[in-house]
Amino acid sequence: MLITHDTRCALDTVVDLVNSAPEDDTTPEGLPDVAALKEFVRQHEVSEVGALTEFDLTAVRRIRGRFAAVFAAPDARAAATLINELIAAAGTTPRLTDHDGYDWHVHYFAPGASVADHLAADCGMALAFFVVAGEQERLRRCEAPDCRHAFVDLSRNRSRRYCDSRTCGNRLHVAAYRARRKEAAG
């Protein structure tokens, strides 16, 4: 599956967006205010974004929930329905661009789109390609019991189960190792 630079950026952006949501009452909101949204937009180099307001913050949090549902979708059909809704609501204007020295690629957000519509259109299309490629199952949520982070499994054999093997993966290995030792010591 060919993943272009821009698709890769859109995937990183949507994963970080989904994971900015508080998982429960004890974890912090990753996008608590407009300043945090500005920083998110800067970090992810979301282009052509104007001044941001409370309205944008609310709208971005709303689409964040809809993207989270795509990562939790049980099959391609469910994911397709959700992605279609996201993209339709955003309105799209596909056009070729080679901005900022990148190779030719397609932007989907309409000119002058709000940041929420921009993210819905371009991140939505990035996810759409996974469904088209028969790779919807690569859009995953971490299987660690106390972590439901979204991630995109780009491993060759689609074997990744945890959001970050250095934290979640290791943590589970250690827990399994301790459990085995305890059993052996019986």
- Which residues of the chain form contacts with Zn ion (CB under 5 A)? 6, 142, 144, 147, 149, 163, 168
CB of 15 to Zn ion, least distance (A): 12
The residue among 72 and 76 lying less far from Zn ion, judged by its C-beta, is 72
Q: Do the beta carbons of residue 78 and residue 95 sit within 8 Å?
A: no
The residue among 113 and 163 lying less far from Zn ion, judged by its C-beta, is 163
The residue among 34 and 172 lying less far from Zn ion, judged by its C-beta, is 172
Spatial separation of the C-alpha atoms in residues 38 and 168, rounded to whole Å:
29
Identify the DSSP state of 4: -
CA dihedral 50, 55, 58, 62 (to 10 degrees): -70
CB of 69 to Zn ion, least distance (A): 18
Tokens at 32, concatenated = 């608590």
CB of 186 to Zn ion, least distance (A): 31
